[in-house]
Amino acid sequence: MPLNLTESRKLQHRAEQLLPGGVDSPVRAFRAVGGDPPFITHAEGAYLYDADGNRYLDYFGSWGPMILGHAFPPVVQAIQQAATRSASFGASTAAESDLAELVRRCVPSIGKLRFVSSGTEACMTAIRLARGFTGRKFVIKFEGCYHGHSDAMLVKAGSGVATLGIPGSAGVPEETAMHTIALPFNDLEAIRAAFVARPQEIACVIVEPVVGNAGTIPPNPGYLEGLRALTREHGALLILDEVMTGFRVSLGGAQQLYNIQPDLTTLGKIIGGGLPCAAFGGRADIMDHLAPVGPVYQAGTLSGNPLAMAAGIATLNELIAREHEIYPALERTTASIAEGVSKIARESGVDLTTNRVGSMFTWFFTAQTVTNYTDAAKSNTSAFGHFHRAMLEAGVWLPPSQYEAAFVSTAHGQREIDITLEAARKALATVTTN
């Protein structure tokens, strides 16, 4: 049955007069899947509620942060209590060190860190720091990986850039992007050749250790180890962008899961429990190149914001206290959902490839394996769009792009598995891929 989106449609019309595309972040506009984006009024646990009173089972979790579900009571209380003491000081608080200690406990490769307000800032500054530390200019990234919207990182980027089919971005001078080298993910030969072509010139390699922004793509066995060995051999830093995977694929992120020791790590999303917060950190000798100790500049009016720190502390405390219960449960629930739908697709004759690491996954509408962005881009995006709409009408909200990861929270359980499989069975019966 078509959704009643009368109120949302009105709100979208109003927003379009005020905000380009009616949104503050492009993928929210539903351009890739079509139809009207529902306007949210509130959310609780695994469910979102819109302005027309529709309820949706949430599989994007604010694009990753909401691992404990929406309005998780300890997080709500922490924010409320912090707010009564004022929303911001622009001066140091003990809470910054409290959260920093929790982060270091989870991610031992981090000696020192700095809090910022977005993943974009974290990645942009980690790269500046790598360049400042090594005295080199070139940066290697991978096709389909997204490291925020700083100029140099929009080359062959994933997420909304891939969704909208934009090759890069207008407004980025060639001169700004000329030191960014984009290579295919999961291809060690390509990176070996890049190091040989530019000896002593590559400052760092930045990578999503499990790609989320081209849809979910796990690293091939030995790939991350290979990146670690090659960067070390050539005097370049290895930056793991764990904005999405941090505290998600395990408490210690992908670096714990795959046992990789990066020089620098970027974190975001879960670290702020849904408030604007991110961080970058790593070897203390590198981090001490940052101002005011060193010559690499970075600053932020709202960095280390007390509400964000409170939400982050409450979130990490919960994940740390219940680590051995939470991560195995997320694994089981997500496996049932991801592989359950995969099986239904096979029975329905729909070409579907399921990639999953822990509680992040993607259903690619293709029969082929997906190991890099080129593979992902072979997906049938119109079949995905059809599936997305059919699922939304059945009350299940998947990320509105083939090139995004879906996320499961601790609030998803057996009831949510059943709802999803039932919705998928009906939706897939109406999808054709060939």
The set of catalytic residues is 146, 241, 269
Least distance in angstroms from the C-beta of 91 to ligand PMP: 24
- 8 A C-beta contact, residue 85 and residue 306: yes
Burial grade of 42 (CB within 10 A; 0-12, 13-18, 19 or more): exposed
| Cβ-based neighbour number of residue 17 at 10 Å | 7
Q: Minimum CB separation from ligand PMP for residue 90, in Å?
A: 21
Closest to ligand PMP by CB, 122 vs 396, is 122
Provide the token pair at 239.
């930056």
- Tokens linked to 357: 């690491």
Query: Which amino acid is it at 298?
Result: Q
Q: Which of 65, 144, 212, 253 binds ligand PMP (CB under 6 A)?
A: 212
The residue among 342 and 359 lying less far from ligand PMP, judged by its C-beta, is 359
11 Cβ partners below 8 Å, 6+ apart?
Answer: 39, 51
Tell the smallest beta-carbon distance from residue 278 to ligand PMP (Å): 6
Name which of residues 238 to 267 contact ligand PMP (CB under 6 A).
241, 243-244
Binding region for ligand PMP (CB under 6 A) out of 114-122, 221-229, 346-354, 358-366? 114-122
Give whichever of 78 and 211 is closer to ligand PMP, judged by the CB atom: 211
Q: State the number of binding residues for ligand PMP (CB under 6 A).
A: 17
Nearest CB to ligand PMP, comparing residues 159 and 255: 159
Q: Residue from 8, 12, 54, 118 that binds ligand PMP (CB under 6 A)?
A: 118
- Sheet of 264-267: strand order equals 112-116, 278-282, 264-267, 237-242, 202-207, 138-142, 180-183
Q: Does 397 bind ligand PMP (CB under 6 A)?
A: no
- Give the nearest distance from C-beta 422 to ligand PMP in angstroms: 30
Query: 383 or 400, CB closer to ligand PMP?
Result: 400
Q: Is 120 in the site for ligand PMP (CB under 6 A)?
A: yes
Q: Tokens 């190091």 correspond to what residue? A: 195
- Going 207 to 210 to 216 to 221, the CA torsion angle's sign is positive
Q: Which residue is nearest to ligand PMP (CB)?
A: 119
One character per residue 138-177, x = contact with ligand PMP (rule: CB under 6 A): --------xxx----------x------------------
Closest distance of CB 192 from ligand PMP, Å = 24
Q: How far apart are CA 419 and CA 423, in angstroms?
A: 6
Which of 38, 65, 69, 119 is in the footprint of ligand PMP by CB under 6 A?
119
Kindly tell me which of 216 and 336 has the beta carbon lying closer to ligand PMP: 216
Distance in Å, CB of 270 to ligand PMP, minimum: 11
Nearest in space to 243 (alpha carbons), one of 219, 261, 220, 264: 264
Cα–Cα nearest to 97, from 105, 108, 88, 89: 105
x/- map, 355-394, ligand PMP, by CB under 6 A: ----------------------------------------
Here the tokens at position 185 are 């993910």
Select from 237-245, 322-330, 362-370, 390-398 the region that touches ligand PMP (CB under 6 A). 237-245
Nearest to ligand PMP of 3, 124 (CB atom): 124
* 63, 198, 341, 366 from 351: Cα distances, Å: 26, 41, 12, 5
| Alpha-carbon gap, residue 29 to 36, rounded angstroms | 8
From the CB of 69, what's the least distance to ligand PMP, in Å? 19
Q: How far is the CB of 268 from ligand PMP (least distance, A)?
A: 5
- For ligand PMP, the binding residues in 192-211 under the rule CB under 6 A are 208
Q: Site residues for ligand PMP, window 53-112 (CB under 6 A)?
A: 63
In the bound state with ligand PMP, the residue whose beta carbon lies nearer, of 5 and 204, is 204
Residues 16/22, Cβ–Cβ less than 8 Å: yes
Closest approach of Cβ 6 to ligand PMP, in Å? Answer: 31
**How far, CA to CA in Å, does 163 sit from each of 31, 199, 204?**
9, 34, 27
What Cα–Cα distance (Å) separates residue 429 from each residue in 342, 348, 370? 13, 6, 23
If the CB atoms of residues 307 and 390 are measured against ligand PMP, the closer one turns out to be 307
Q: Which residues here bind ligand PMP, judged by CB under 6 A?
A: 63, 118-120, 123, 146-148, 159, 208, 212-213, 241, 243-244, 268, 278
